[in-house]
Chains A and B, each alone.
Chain A
Amino acid sequence: MLIKKGAEASLYLEEWHSRKVIRKHRLPKRYRVLELDMEIRSQRTLHEPQIIHKAKEAGVPTPTIFMVDPVEATIIMEFVEGKQVKQILDNLSLEERYRLCLRIGKLIGCLHNHGVIHGDLTTSNMILTPYGKVVFVDFGLSELSKELETRGVDLHLMKRAFQSTHYRCAKESFDAVIEGYTKVVGDKEAKNVLEKIREIEKRGRYISER
């Protein structure tokens, strides 16, 4: 059963060896040339499970991977029950939202401490399970890096996601994320990353404070 048709891949909810699983299939894109299409799809299919494994080492909840097929560009993984943070964030109480964002910040901190850059930190890629666990999904654009630059870009994306999708509570949410992040990576690193984010924002075009 197709449960989500993303921009890049389709997610199917299926039964696999009497288990509820997600089959993630990166679809061929008719708009791009065959060589580029194959390259992008197989590379991302191989890459994603490796990074997901790395995230587990960092102590960040991610789906369990069952099978990978780079030729078909398919990954079979655990189905995570719960709600997307995107769906619930705006309707939480101030306190609940603060705690959730704090938690998200800590998890991002863990990822970055282990050199994992998620690459698509939006609230649609975080699932809150009924047990209160936050599970990070969709590592399709992630990379391994300890560079300050990539960490900055990663968090900058999170900030942008709040501003575009949760504009009513963007500032408080991102502030809480940074608070949690700081607790994990330490004051010095957090300060550096925040400075980097400011630099990235200025580098982006047409910021009035430049």
Chain B
Amino acid sequence: MIPSGHMQTLTSTLQIKTLQSPTTSSRKTAQTPLQIPLSMHPIHKNITETKSQKESYNINGPFCLGIESTADDFSVGILSFDGEVLANVISAYVPEEGGIHPREAARHHTRVAGKVLREAFQRSGIKPQDILVVAFSQGPGLGPCLRTGATAARALASYLQTPLVGVNHCVAHIEIGKLITGARDPLTLYVSGGNTIVSAFEAGRYRVFGETLDIAVGNCLDVFAREAGLRQKKEALGAMVEQLASRGRVFAPLPYTVKGMDLSFSGLLTAAVQLLHEQKLHLEDLCFSLQEVVFSMLTEVTERALAHTEKPEILLTGGVAANKRLQSMLSVIAEEHDARFCVAPKEYVLDNGAMIAWTGILAYQHNITVPVEKSLVKLKWRLDEVYAPWAEG
């Protein structure tokens, strides 16, 4: 934590020469972005301490507001440039039946956007005028959802006359994980309803070492859960499968498909659904078997990538990261390879605005901004397409 007085000196004296000035049409472009020296970088601090002492400091800017809207969650996060999370408000769209309908999800985002923004400002205790940068999730994700968040971000940036940063959703998951857990150079397993990626940073980019060849792991679990008649209410489908699985005892063999470091879940899903309809097994046992096979596959490729990259940490993130069984499997391999196992609290592994704001800050400090007229969303924006100079050790 940097005391407020200290921060003032930083702003005025420690500006490092930048390569190029950010290109936005707003008034603030003339300013050189604030550079925080590495020693002051929040990953060097004890995060829990930061949180508990929040009240005792008069938190000073600059601040970044991040908007996340790639899929079913609309979220706004506000962070100070030294990594203090001032607000992280998440509003989830829960479909009445079936999976996420992009149009319905986008409609939800439009409806709650104003409310979520207002609540984020209230919780953070800062005024809109205090925002120096606006960041938004530019992709990958569902078109209508992305566009809703992007529209809100563009409007806000234009109104406040701040630079705009387009953030890659997958990069953001990794960056917030690093900030919250203190991981420096992790091998990341990012598992959610839309993504299954094993990645590590090498030479300017988060390289993809392994990924799904078909559907995402969260998608596999969700579709199975829906086939089994489970319905999402307050609890996520994955959590329901986890609960059922914890009561399962009998292991039924299911297709185990690992190709090098890549994975395939579609055949496994089909086989599990077939077993389900045959009704020879208890649902608990089937959930147990499905989870065991799916997570063993994930753990195997993660271990393979860990042995290959020799990274000092494993970072688990994404919606499926909340699963305790997956966490315990990964901590076993972490221990065996002398790596530290890191997983952030739920609000930072699920889609959230804080991760967009934080990645926005990192990008902005490296002069990576986007002019409003070029801020089109990128539905298929790959993790390894992103130049991420801030992650360079």
Contact = CB atoms under 8 A, between A and B. Distances in A.
B213 A200 contact: yes
Interface stretch (A4-12, A14-22, A101-109, A190-198): A4-12
Interface residues of B, number: 46
Interface of A, helix, strand, loop or mixed by DSSP: loop
Interface string A50-94: 000000000000000000000000000000000000000000000
A188 interface: no
B300 interface: yes
A206 B207 contact: no
B303 interface: yes
Q: Could you say which interface size class chain A belongs to? A: 35 or more
A72 B261 CA distance: 25
A207 B211 CA distance: 13
A141 B308 contact: no
A147 interface: no
A31 B327 CA distance: 10
B213 A203 contact: yes
Nearest to B305: A7
B297 to A, nearest CB: 10
Contacts of B260: 119-122, 141, 157, 160-161
Interface in B10-44: none
Interface string B251-266: 1010010111110000
A33 B292 contact: yes
**B209, B259, B332: which has the most chain A beta carbons within 10 Å?**
B259
Nearest to B299: A31
Interface in A154-210: 157, 160-161, 163-165, 167, 200, 203-208, 210
Interface in B358-382: 378-382
Interface of B: 139-140, 194-195, 202-203, 207-209, 211-214, 216, 251, 253, 256, 258-262, 292-293, 296, 299-300, 303-308, 328-330, 332-333, 336, 378-383, 385
28 contacts: A7-B305, A7-B307, A8-B300, A8-B304, A31-B328, A31-B329, A31-B332, A32-B296, A32-B299, A35-B251, A36-B256, A119-B260, A120-B259, A141-B259, A153-B262, A157-B259, A157-B260, A160-B261, A160-B262, A161-B260, A167-B202, A167-B203, A203-B214, A205-B211, A206-B140, A206-B380, A207-B380, A208-B378
